[in-house]
Structure 1
Amino acid sequence: MNVLILGCGQTGQALAQQLYQQGHAVTCVSRHDKQLVPIQHMTQDIHHLTLNSTPLFDWVYVILSPSQRNVEHYQQTFIDTARPVFQALQSHPIQRVIFISSTRVYGENSGRWIDDDTRPYSDDPIGQCLIAAEQLWSAYWQDKLTIIRTSGLYQANSAYLHHLAHDSQKITVRHWTNRIHRQDLVGFLTFLSTIKRLESSYLLSDQQPILQYELINLIRQRDGLKGLPVPENLMETGKRIQANRLQHSGYTLHFPTYLTAGLM
């Protein structure tokens, strides 16, 4: 299978290596020069994508990341790229396009459960931008598109989680958080190429939503810091992700909870 990966950060590079090891021909495209031998890399701005001298691609993974976390950059990254990518691939025998989105498309903020059948809705401008991007990519690719909505990415000794735990001064809310280990994101994206009938979308999150203050205190305990006291009757915020399609897909998570990922 000839695979095109649009976006070549940590996730794209790891995915390229796994797909190559499985015998697929892989080409990556990103804005900056990279040495990915034996993976073929093309340095291009995806807004002006040209694929005239490449193999004919069967599968496409769209793993884009905005350079800044604001609506303008989300628009440029996820919406403004849809048409040029579609046009560049018109002569290719595309079987499947995998588009990486986010659970930010769900604006739930009172601790309730979200599953694969929950309709995306958000009052958050970035969440709304991602919903619009999903709709636009779906309009172009229709039943060839599979959307992957990931929760927060992490890995062992995550700098973000370390700073969150060490910098927190007090607990003010019961905030639910969800996450997926980067290795499982890459593993599941690779596994998708083996599934005969893909769903139109998958939530990708581990099996244990956790209150943020519990995670903070676990990391503080690990690092020899005093745990933060938890007041009673705190407001409950955030959402809890139930990734049913992931669990029924046949893929086994390497890190089904944060405790199995070396956070403790």
Structure 2
Amino acid sequence: MLVGCGDVGGRLAALLVSQGWAVHGLRRQAARLPPGVHPVGGDLAEPGCPPAWPVGALDYLVYCVAADRHDEAGYQAAYVQGLQHVLAWLGLHSQRPKRLLFVSSTSVYGQAAGEWVNEQAITAPAGFAGRVMLQAEALAHASGHPATRVRLAGIYGPGRERLLRQVREGYQVALEPALYANRIHADDAAGLLCHLLLADQAGHGLAPCYLGVDDAPAALAEVFGWLRQRLGVTHLQPGAFVRRTGSKRCSNALARASGWLPRYPSYREGYAALLGEGGGTLR
């Protein structure tokens, strides 16, 4: 059961269908689900169980939603209240999945001086997004179902091209102190989730938490410089600077140790592919 079949969730659903899995997908607009996914139309804001919720056993539940509103109330509704509703629906049908995979975010880390971060690092988020994510993670952990959190960072890909637009518009990034950012291509985010589900199905134990990032966290100024060169952007907009509160370098060593390898190991490969398959329309 995939709760939240948007960008990453939809890619994951397609991967699992290609592996022969029977996949149920919940989203408000069920007609937009990938081919082969059993549609479950529903709204996580409503406590009532969707009529099309499957009644049989569920082997896995993946909670992979995105907030409609980027404020604290929107995050509470999507990640805490929505998960509470889904857990209630599982109880209503006496469903005991083998694993609950909760898709979280590296916003739970508040490090801001370029520190390296792994799954054991202190979580002291500076903003509401990270705080709400920690609440939701705790809810998943206390659900009574075996739970694994996957903290994704900086998802990009087709349709997620804000950074490219900022480069084209001449935005700048301060060189000192270095502002580090982490990212993962949407295909790799879905691929990691699929890898973990297949590993669990094969009997390989999963850790309680994984970081979903590529191999190479990089200073944002470096990324902007590389993209300017690729896009032929020479102008800079006076006073237009990228603002970020955090600066950390996230390690994917634990995910790689499980056997997962990103298709796009750094921003270079990922953005080169994006510019060649749709991102090029920004030119």
- TM-score with structure 1 setting the length: 0.89
Equivalent in 163, 166, 183 of residue 164 of structure 1: 166
Residue correspondence of structure 1 range 26-65 to structure 2 within 5 A: 26-35=23-32, 36-46=34-44, 47-48=46-47, 49-50=49-50, 53-65=54-66
| Structure 2 CA distance for aligned equivalents of residues 215 and 38 of structure 1 | 38
Per-residue deviation, residues 35-63 of structure 1 (Å, max 9, x unmatched): 54321111111243346653321101101
Matches within 5 A, 1:1-264: 4-35=1-32, 36-46=34-44, 47-48=46-47, 49-50=49-50, 53-90=54-91, 91-141=94-144, 144-155=146-157, 158-172=160-174, 173=176, 174-195=178-199, 196-226=204-234, 238-263=247-272
Secondary structure of the 2:23 match is: strand
Contact kept? 2:170, 2:235, Cα under 8 Å: no
SS of the aligned residue for 2:121 comes to coil
CA distance in 2, matches of 1:226, 1:65: 35
Are the aligned partners of 1:116 and 1:244 in contact in 2 as well (CA < 8 Å)? no
- Tell me the SS of whatever aligns to 1:221: helix
- Structure 2 distance, partners of 1:8, 1:55, is 20
Q: Deviations over 1:122-169 (max 9, x none)?
A: 131221111111112211135x10000001001268521211212244
Cα distance change, pair 121–221 in 1 and its aligned pair in 2 (3 A): same
Cα offset for 1:194? Answer: 2.1
Moved more, 33-42 or 166-175: 166-175
Aligned residues: 254
Q: Given that residues 103 and 150 in structure 1 are in contact (C-alpha distance below 8 angstroms), is that contact kept between their aligned partners in structure 2?
A: yes
Q: 1:171 to 1:34 in 2, by over 3 A?
A: same
Cα distance in 2 for partners of 1:203, 1:220 equals: 29
Q: Give the percent of matched residue pairs that are identical in Structure 1 and Structure 2.
A: 25
Q: Give unmatched runs, 5+ long, in structure 2.
A: 237-244, 276-283
Q: Give 1:216 deviation, angstroms.
A: 0.9
* Contact map agreement 1:217 1:227 (CA 8 A) in 2: no
The Cα RMSD (Å) is 2.2
2: CA distance between counterparts of 1:128 and 1:55?
Answer: 35
SS in 1 for 2:149: strand
Q: SS state of the match for residue 198, structure 2? A: coil
Matched to 2:132, the amino acid is C
Greater percentage in strand? 1
Could you say if the C-alpha distance between residues 197 and 151 of structure 1 is closer, same or farther in structure 2, counting changes exceeding 3 Å? same
Opposite residue 153 of structure 1, the aligned amino acid is I
What whole-Å deviation, never above 9, does each CA across 1:232-258 have from its counterpart, x for those lacking one?
Answer: xxxx96111112211101011111111
Could you tell me whether the CA contact under 8 Å between 1:177 and 1:210 is conserved in 2?
yes
Q: Which runs of 4+ in 1 moved over 6 A?
A: none
What is the alpha-carbon distance in structure 2 between the residues aligned to residue 110 and residue 45 of structure 1?
39
Structure 2 counterpart SS, 1:254: coil
| Secondary structure of the corresponding residue to residue 191 of structure 1 | helix
Return the alpha-carbon distance in structure 1 between the equivalents of residues 53 and 186 of structure 2.
33
2:2 counterpart SS class: strand
**Other structure's SS at 2:69 match:** coil
Q: Normalising by structure 2, what TM-score? A: 0.83
Whole-angstrom distance in 2 between the partners of 1:73 and 1:151: 19
